Structure 1
Amino acid sequence: MQKTNTTPLMKQYYDIRAKHPGIILFFRLGDFYEMFDEQAREVSALLGLTLTARHGVPMCGIPFHAANNYIVRLLNAGKKIGICEQTSSVMDKNTKLFERKVTRVITPGTLMEDSLLDANQSNYLVCLSVHPRGWALSCVEVSTGEFWVNQNDKDSTLTNLAAALAAINPSEVVGDKDSLEQLKNKVVLPGKLTLTEQPAFEGDYTLPANWPALGAWGDKKKALACALQTMKYLSVTEPSFKTVLIPSYRELKDSLQIDENAVASLELVKSQEGGRRGSLWALLDHTKTAVGSRKLKEWILHPLMDPGEITARQDCVEGFVKNQSALADLSALLENISDVERIMTRTATGTASPRDLSGLRQSLLNIDPLSRWFETYGNIAPHLRALFEENLPVLREMSRMLYDAVDENPPLKLSDGHVIRAGYNAELDELRSLKQNGRKCMEEMCAREREKTGIPTMRVGVNSVFGFYFEVTKSHIAKVPFNYVRKQTLVNAERFITEELKSLEDKILNAEQKIIRLESSLFDEVRKTCAARINHVKAFAQIVSELDVYMSLALCAMKGNYVRPVVDNGTELHYENGRHPLVEATLPSGSFVPNGLAIGTPENQIMLITGPNMGGKSVFLKQTAIIVIMAQMGSFVPASAARVGVVDKIMTRIGAHDALSRGNSTFMVEMNETAHILASMTPRSLILLDEVGRGTSTFDGISIAWAIVEYLYKPAGGPKVLFATHYFELVDLENKYESVSNWHVDAKEYKDASGESRLAFLYQILPGAADRSYGIHVAEIAGLPAACTLRAKKVLKDLEAKKGAKISAKEQDMVKDLFSSPIVEEIKMADPDKLTPLAALQLICEWKKRINE
């Protein structure tokens, strides 16, 4: 990389770049960060900067004070940035250069600065290790200090890993080469996700002193290895992380698992358009704080499994619903609280700015008002009141200390001065006074000396040679004390200095530098004092975030006319007049058509839903899943009544998710995802299937759909299944299996004024099977040319006329025989618990071959 015959400055640049491969080096020169050579070409193209040259080397630069704007754009482009600063004020005599070092490496997953982060979004870095039987990962949010690990040794297909990553939504994934290759081959990754290759773990289990002992990790050594790899990676970007981050083991099965397709198709945290707007998170988010908004997102993606914990959350939400004054008073309090979670991480790592501590001070000034709120409304969230009172003494102490120490409106940078409040430190106050009133202090000293010596003509002066001095006329020389030191003799006077005068002079002349040093020292002491109490402030952040979420959910419940659901350990899922909250929000008030559901009973384990497209089948499927998620996260739900038996997994096969980049067709993706569902389901799972089998020929599709329904059927108690289909042949399953029931979306055909047949969607889910799919009517509504729809009606009429002849003699009889043949007995005899998904599909193919023969 380094060029021959370079200048000393360029040699320094290339040497530093060589030590930090793979990053764009922001090389500080004066008031600009400069980039050179091929990096200059790359950055100028990405950012639209002017490309110039220095000694024939291409270069471009950005003002250091506006660097964050450019850094965000480079991070969004998947780049990593090294900030190279001048670290010495003394120039090297040989090179005539100042020392420069990379002081910070910024990557998408290691951001701490508020200016680079979305306040409402968590920003996760995942370190991953994939092995033949499964995987392990560590997940860290460096701006908040959240750090946990997980390990799964029974997921060779990485389907559970895909679900975990969908919930985490990391900004950056770190892993060895083989792990990243498997990840790219088996998991659909977001387009902007940064993948960082690192050497594989070398087996060094030397743990930081503040981590749990090695023996505490048991058989989770792969997860521990990921945690250690994370710290190794972070030590390059910010060495002080090691004092803040302590990993814990998080068991993902302790919360409702939502697979990656469900996260996307249900639009939980991101709409189909790709942004937060239009998602469930945005709909429910009425929080006042950044910590509250992030907590709400976490609850949506990780609903609870314990009915007792869910009930406790519901009690808090209901407390706000029933007490408007409590809600209003808390809302006013929370508006004054900053993002203390992220501030404390920067404080603990030594990167907190004066504005950070000012924000922490302003937040902690709400301690006493919050204490009074708990005294009045403590019955709303008693567990948070107990936590608050436990930490209250320390928080009050911190509040007083920060109020006394930090100026009311400190500058952004410590070097700008006036960070420490007047009256906090006597020496600092004296220095500031000297700086502002230096001459006045000298005159006051001179006045004291005149009175003490009895020399009325003594005066204080200053020159560039001696500095400050006392001047005494020769008529009073005899009165000069012995401790005066003569410095200059004039015709009519003598000039003297004293130790006290020189001391004052030194203070005045060096006051500014001393002020900067002393303020820096005092600020560091305050920061360290706060850092030592990080756990107390994190407890405060937890209290604030939970209260904020309860308040937000209460506002949603009142605004949306939601009801408190009953959540228990039963198997039944029942709701009346349920609504899809996202769809409802886009429609005029009162126009959404509600529907009810009762599933998970001996009479209804599997619902087969038929009817035309656009009739509301998918909305019904999705609203059911959303009602379960909202119920188990502790929220009220959009229904008039609801009972939810705890669901452990929500798995969906809705819509076509092609993976052409991996060489998979739509049908292959559909089968892969369905195979995962069949292999992963439990009696407590909720499974949503929409048009499974449509990606292949009709008979293949019917065969596969039929076999899947039978595989899902568990008379002794199986998963709750909503299966939307256009295969009307499947409705016969209701007659064969007691817990399979037919339902349809209602639509009415009518004649318009011209006598043309029209279709009206009624959006109601009713018992029984649909008799038609109304496909041509839907095509008309969609705007298909009239010539096409007229021709389609003619062809349909001809086919229906022939239905009793050729089709009944061949295909119709074959379809009829298909489900009364001996193969059905083989299906009954097959033990699904002993079949892998692949083996099940192979059996289906064999049955199809025999039927065709």
Structure 2
Amino acid sequence: MAKLTPMMQQYMEIKKEYQDYILFFRLGDFYEMFFDDAVTASKVLDITLTARGCGLEEKAPLAGVPYHAAEGYLSKLVSAGHKVAICEQIEDPKQAKGIVKRAVTRIVTPGTVTDPNMLKDSVNNYVLTVYQNDRHFGIAYSDISTSEFKTTFFKNLTNLENLYNEILKINPKEVVISESMRYDEELMAFFIDNHYLMTYLNPIHFKFSEAEQTIKRLFKVYSTESLGLTESDDSVIACGALLSYIEETQKVDLVHFNHIEIYKHDAYMVLDKFTRRNLELSETMRAHEKRGSLLWVLDKTATAMGARNLRKWIEAPLLSKTEINKRLSAVEYFYENISMRQDINEYLSRIYDLERISSKLVYGTVNARDMLSLKQSLMYLPNIKRMLMSAENEHLNHIISELDDLTDIYKLLDDAIHEDPPITIREGKIIKTAYNEELSELRDILTNGKDWIVKLEQAEREKTGINSLKIKFNKVFGYFIEVTKKNVDLVPENYIRKQTLANAERYIYPELKDIETKILNAEEKINVLEYDLFIDVKNRILDQILRIKKSAQVIAEIDTLLSFAIVSYNNDYTKPEISTDGEIMIENGRHPVVEQLGTEELFVPNDTIINQTDNRFYIITGPNMAGKSTYLRQVALITLMAQIGCFIPASSGKVAIVDRIFTRVGASDDLSQGQSTFMVEMNELSNILHNATEHSLIILDEIGRGTSTYDGLSIAWSVVEFLSQNEEIGAKTLFATHYHELTELEGRFPGVKNYCISVKESGDDITFLRKIIRGGANRSYGIQVAKLAGIPDPVIARAKEILKQLEEHDINNNISSIHSSMDVKTQVVMKEHEVVNILKDMDVMKVTPLEAMNILYDLVERAKKD
């Protein structure tokens, strides 16, 4: 340090506090980066890497970006997963003695971005904290660009699957944990496998007393109990630690954080990462695009707030029949009232992102154009409130009662903000002239200054009687009065001589100098005054930030419900009946995504009746490409859509609430983990078998195909046994398989039924009819499908020869000899039943000893035979 230049010493002192961050070090008109930061930044930003003398023998690597263009570079670094600390000059360089004072004024990380230009409108940007206390966990997460803040907790976890699923649902951009958790191998493996950006805090922030004090200070409450944090100290600690991190990174008063939402994670359907991926809820499996996902179909929202809310609803279906029906009733009202639906949607389409504009107010990055966007948005709130207050729907009435139309804020903005302001707030032309008297006067001076001088000149001529009096201007004296020598005797006493010329005298006087000062300084004063007035307006609105935030949440909910109604109306969806009796009964159900992808074929609807008793387990057979996988996903998506409160693609539907949807659909090698297709498949299956309940819906597509035929069939068979039995799981299950040998299981296990995809045969050609019917397929049609795919005729012919030979040794020949555990149990029950009937029919008082001996002998012989 002693050898470094003073400036570099200052840099190193600051960098020491921000080792995990790229330090933007302000030097004049540039943000400079040195040493490893410079090397990293030059690669990510594709900027030149140079060097600068630093006092050491070797120069320091150097890279820099212009301060006025910093946001674009900052966005690239954060998008690449880097954290940036921005160090500003905090004193005027002209007044500095020695090195200019500098300090970090802002920290930007992937989880703490607030600039809307760096964020996706329709996606929340979460930072999440996890606190661990033995097998108890508390989590808290926030989108600081919208001020959303939530927490939940987990007690006595025997495995961490539920915790992992909750984190995956939140999908944070950054995870904040204690330094001490670095050594928890199980948790760290999960974070690393899912590529989360990790930030480690001093363990002091995870002490209960420290966390509690942070919460009480920031929320200005006497006790955390007043915020509802009464059930778990783990949640208190997670919340306090996260708030400490947000406060450290943002370095502003977090006035928009006024509420912590404590939720029960078990109030929502559990969707593991396999199900989210396989059902393509928010993005497609292969291309990771929105188009082709359920979100793509359902998103007809008009606002960014509604789009984010819709995504959250899709990711967290409800388990409460009452809450689901509330949503459905509101959707139904919008569905039936076309005119109101259209009018409200038109109003919503003109509303900007109130949540993120509010955050810009808090973080001091709001400009006049943002204020105009806020004003325009507030213009339509009274209309929306008036229309929905008259709606004959209890749930909509309740929602709209929470909407503050914010007319006072609208009036302030309408009075103050210019209709066409510049982007910056220091250039003037951002405040209306009539808003402030002093501003009006200054604008008048700037506009009419020359006229004032002409009028003043005429007035002075009349007052002094000097017809030749002139008011002139130069850079030395500014404005002055010039009088010829012969009229000097007429000059008033209040004139002050400034210069004598051969034929004239030049004077100034106070009133002229006052006008000069106003004219010459008007523009600068206007800019300063407008900035001060803008800050005053901003602060007055900031005082009402919680009202704006609440109204934004109401608009988001209305927008989401309206989106459901629009989609349902346009796509001919129907309102489902929600039940808790375990039965899913869908008439003419359709896949919501496939039918929207514009294929030439008309979508063929299918019925589904699945319950907890006699129709609990579908074994679905049929060839590839026939539509089995589409049908499986269709049933799962319809169930999920009902539980988020949306109408469903069917002519009618009764949907039982399920606690989880499990899917085992397709697989590919996970080379990064050294896992084969079969191992991936078995991992997913293991998750299902360990976590499914009788209230779950399970979708299985081709279990066991990643290994040999006999191994695969054996596993598939055993899975059917395990899932179908009440004493094991007894979940509603749809199982598509190429093992048509499994059709033998109908009748062996309660609730197992055979279904197949119908196929029309014409010689060696087949046509897929896409209709699911009762019964099992006795052929796979693999060779026919291969022919449809264009496999050469010689290959097809040889395949037929081989198939004929293999069929002579078909495994079906041995199916009858396979006895399951269920068969044995059934036989025991049957034996007991026969014995009971024989004994019930016997009249003990009338039977002779010989007859009794014969009956006993017969029972013994039966038992020996069995």
* TM exceeding 0.5: yes
Mapping 1:64-79, distance limit 5 Å: 64-79=67-82
Larger CA deviation: 489-498 vs 268-277: 489-498
Aligned match for 2:415, one of 404, 413, 416? 404
SS at the partner of 1:195? strand
Partner in structure 1 of residue 432 of structure 2: 421
Post-superposition Cα deviations, 1:279-306, rounded to whole Å, max 9, x if no partner, equal: 1111222222211211221221122233
Partner in structure 2 of residue 44 of structure 1: 42
Partner in structure 2 of residue 353 of structure 1: 367
In 1, are the aligned partners of 2:77 and 2:83 still within 8 Å (CA)?
A: yes
Q: Does 1:252 align with 2:256?
A: no
Q: Deviation at 1:274?
A: 0.8
Aligned match for 1:687, one of 673, 678, 698? 698
Q: CA separation in 2, counterparts of 1:527 and 1:559? A: 42
Partner in structure 1 of residue 161 of structure 2: 159
Aligned match for 1:104, one of 99, 103, 106? 106
Q: Does 1:279 align with 2:288?
A: no
Partner in structure 2 of residue 293 of structure 1: 307
SS at the partner of 1:563? coil
Q: Does 1:194 align with 2:205?
A: no
In 2, are the aligned partners of 1:715 and 1:739 still within 8 Å (CA)?
A: no
Aligned match for 2:771, one of 764, 767, 771? 764
Aligned match for 1:267, one of 280, 286, 308? 280
TM-score, scaled relative to structure 2: 0.85
TM-score, scaled relative to structure 1: 0.86
Q: 1:709 to 1:156 in 2, by over 3 A?
A: same
Partner in structure 2 of residue 846 of structure 1: none
Q: Deviation at 1:424?
A: 0.5
**For residue 687 of structure 2, what is the amino acid of its counterpart?**
H
Q: CA separation in 1, counterparts of 2:88 and 2:790? A: 62
Q: 1:813 to 1:718 in 2, by over 3 A?
A: closer
Aligned match for 2:808, one of 786, 801, 808? 801
Q: Deviation at 1:610?
A: 2.5
Q: 1:727 to 1:177 in 2, by over 3 A?
A: farther
Q: CA separation in 2, counterparts of 1:514 and 1:18? A: 42
Partner in structure 1 of residue 781 of structure 2: 774
Q: CA separation in 2, counterparts of 1:462 and 1:286? A: 64
Task: Could you tell me which runs of 5 or more consecutive residues in structure 2 were left unpaired when the two chains were aligned.
Answer: 54-58, 830-866
In 1, are the aligned partners of 2:328 and 2:647 still within 8 Å (CA)?
A: yes
Partner in structure 2 of residue 609 of structure 1: 620
Aligned match for 1:719, one of 731, 738, 742? 731
Aligned match for 2:759, one of 732, 747, 762? 747
Q: Deviation at 1:697?
A: 5.0
Q: Deviation at 1:530?
A: 1.4
Larger CA deviation: 450-459 vs 706-715: 450-459
Q: CA separation in 1, counterparts of 2:481 and 2:87? A: 50
Aligned alpha-carbon RMSD (Å) = 3.4
Aligned match for 2:330, one of 316, 331, 353? 316
Q: CA separation in 1, counterparts of 2:493 and 2:275? A: 91
Q: Deviation at 1:628?
A: 1.1
Larger CA deviation: 523-532 vs 738-747: 738-747
Q: CA separation in 1, counterparts of 2:826 and 2:386? A: 73
| Percent identity between the two aligned chains | 39
In 1, are the aligned partners of 2:121 and 2:304 still within 8 Å (CA)?
A: yes
In 2, are the aligned partners of 1:338 and 1:359 still within 8 Å (CA)?
A: yes
Post-superposition Cα deviations, 1:435-493, rounded to whole Å, max 9, x if no partner, equal: 44444444545555666666666554455555444556677777766666565566776
Q: Deviation at 1:358?
A: 1.2
Q: Deviation at 1:98?
A: 4.2
Q: CA separation in 2, counterparts of 1:182 and 1:481? A: 94
Q: CA separation in 2, counterparts of 1:817 and 1:647? A: 29
SS at the partner of 2:254? helix
Q: 1:744 to 1:83 in 2, by over 3 A?
A: same
Q: Does 1:20 align with 2:18?
A: yes
Q: Does 1:175 align with 2:177?
A: yes
**For residue 364 of structure 2, what is the amino acid of its counterpart?**
G
Larger CA deviation: 434-443 vs 590-599: 434-443
Partner in structure 1 of residue 852 of structure 2: none
**For residue 742 of structure 1, what is the amino acid of its counterpart?**
N
Aligned match for 1:573, one of 575, 584, 588? 584
Q: Deviation at 1:379?
A: 1.4
In 1, are the aligned partners of 2:612 and 2:730 still within 8 Å (CA)?
A: no
Post-superposition Cα deviations, 1:686-710, rounded to whole Å, max 9, x if no partner, equal: 1222233444555554444444334
In 2, are the aligned partners of 1:130 and 1:182 still within 8 Å (CA)?
A: no
Q: Deviation at 1:404?
A: 0.7
In 1, are the aligned partners of 2:136 and 2:234 still within 8 Å (CA)?
A: no
**For residue 159 of structure 1, what is the amino acid of its counterpart?**
E
Larger Rg: 2
Q: Deviation at 1:580?
A: 0.7
Q: 1:309 to 1:450 in 2, by over 3 A?
A: farther
**For residue 43 of structure 2, what is the amino acid of its counterpart?**
A
Post-superposition Cα deviations, 1:532-565, rounded to whole Å, max 9, x if no partner, equal: 2223222332333233323322232232221121
Q: CA separation in 1, counterparts of 2:772 and 2:179? A: 50
Q: Deviation at 1:410?
A: 1.3
Q: Deviation at 1:430?
A: 1.9
SS at the partner of 1:795? helix
Q: Does 1:82 align with 2:90?
A: no
Q: 1:699 to 1:799 in 2, by over 3 A?
A: closer
Q: 1:763 to 1:248 in 2, by over 3 A?
A: same
Q: CA separation in 2, counterparts of 1:472 and 1:534? A: 61
In 1, are the aligned partners of 2:133 and 2:234 still within 8 Å (CA)?
A: no
Q: 1:156 to 1:63 in 2, by over 3 A?
A: farther
Q: 1:17 to 1:638 in 2, by over 3 A?
A: same
Q: Deviation at 1:781?
A: 4.2
Q: CA separation in 1, counterparts of 2:710 and 2:809? A: 19
**For residue 162 of structure 2, what is the amino acid of its counterpart?**
N
**For residue 663 of structure 2, what is the amino acid of its counterpart?**
T
**For residue 770 of structure 2, what is the amino acid of its counterpart?**
Y
Task: Could you tell me which runs of 5 or more consecutive residues in structure 1 were left unpaired when the two chains were aligned.
Answer: 752-756, 827-853
Q: Deviation at 1:116?
A: 0.9
